[in-house]
Amino acid sequence: MAAAFINEIIHVYRFTIFSPVQALRSRIKAPQNSFSIMISNVRMSNTRYDKYLKVVRETDPDILLINEPGHKWAQEIAVLDNTYPYSVKCPLDNTYGMIFYSKFKIIKKEIRFLIEEGIPSFYSLIELPSGKRFDFFTVHPQPPHLNKNTDTREAELLLVAKEAKESPYASIVAGDLNDVAWSYTTNLFKKISGLLDPRIGRGFYNTYNALVPFFRYSLDHIFYDPAFRIIRLRRLPKFGSDHFPILIRLNYEPLEADEHEVPVADADEEAEAQEMIDNVLEE
């Protein structure tokens, strides 16, 4: 028990400003392959569409991921089609809808239901104006429930982790993971995928619960390949949802990728991840 508690404290400590950063900052003064991503769980029952659109207009992200939009949300924010020529849309009235907008060309897009019906995830291949391409995976697995274990959530995340690792393109995974950044599953995801966590060494950037000031933690995440360098990371103002939006600006710098210390899974962790996936797929 004591050992587990100490281990948890160590994992949490890594998300303080006293710990070394994992994701290195770009040193380029005029980055040519930079772009911004905004992610937000809008909360399907939230009707402050105007406040959300105000945050989007003021932030003006290049890529916009929306978790939990129902059909009403899709209708009320359709004006974004005028700003974002590319999109992937799967609004659902079960709190697992997803919409993705991009100013950049989407070369390939897929709406997948990897583990459970009614819970989509997206895969997109995005092309920057320079012609450079990267994978963008978006997820929103089920949260833990009193009468339901977390097996399906873990399996979905680990499936995406393997896809990101095996892709010939640099990958970004973003969304509401319904899990904190320092959990065992999230750490295993990062080791299997080899993706970086920009929060490490910078702060918690808690996104939930926006409605309860003294009870907040990080559920909304952006993980990315070492080929990217961070320029900026910040939490955005609340807009009526129980989640804060979060914004990150990255620059594609593949020649500098080796300077990062990349999380790596050992043989036991690889086997454990595969077993967790197989157990769910075989049910």
* C-alpha closest to that of 80 among 106, 104, 58, 56: 56
Residue type, 22: Q
For residue 7, the model assigns a pLDDT of 64
Any idea what the CATH number is for the domain that residue 95 is in?
3.60.10.10
* C-alpha closest to that of 92 among 109, 63, 113, 115: 113
For residue 252, the model assigns a pLDDT of 98
pTM, 2 dp? 0.95
- Total number of domains in the chain: 1
For residue 2, the model assigns a pLDDT of 57
Residue 102: what are its φ and ψ, rounded to 5°? Answer: -145, 140
For residue 90, the model assigns a pLDDT of 98
Classify strands 34-41 and 63-67 as parallel, antiparallel or unpaired. parallel
For residue 147, the model assigns a pLDDT of 54
CA distance 147 to 171: 34
Classify strands 170-176 and 133-139 as parallel, antiparallel or unpaired. parallel
Instruction: Tell me the residue range of the domain where 35 lies.
Output: 2-281
CA distance 11 to 200: 10
Ranges of residues in the chain with a pLDDT under 50 are 146
* C-alpha closest to that of 174 among 130, 205, 224, 138: 138
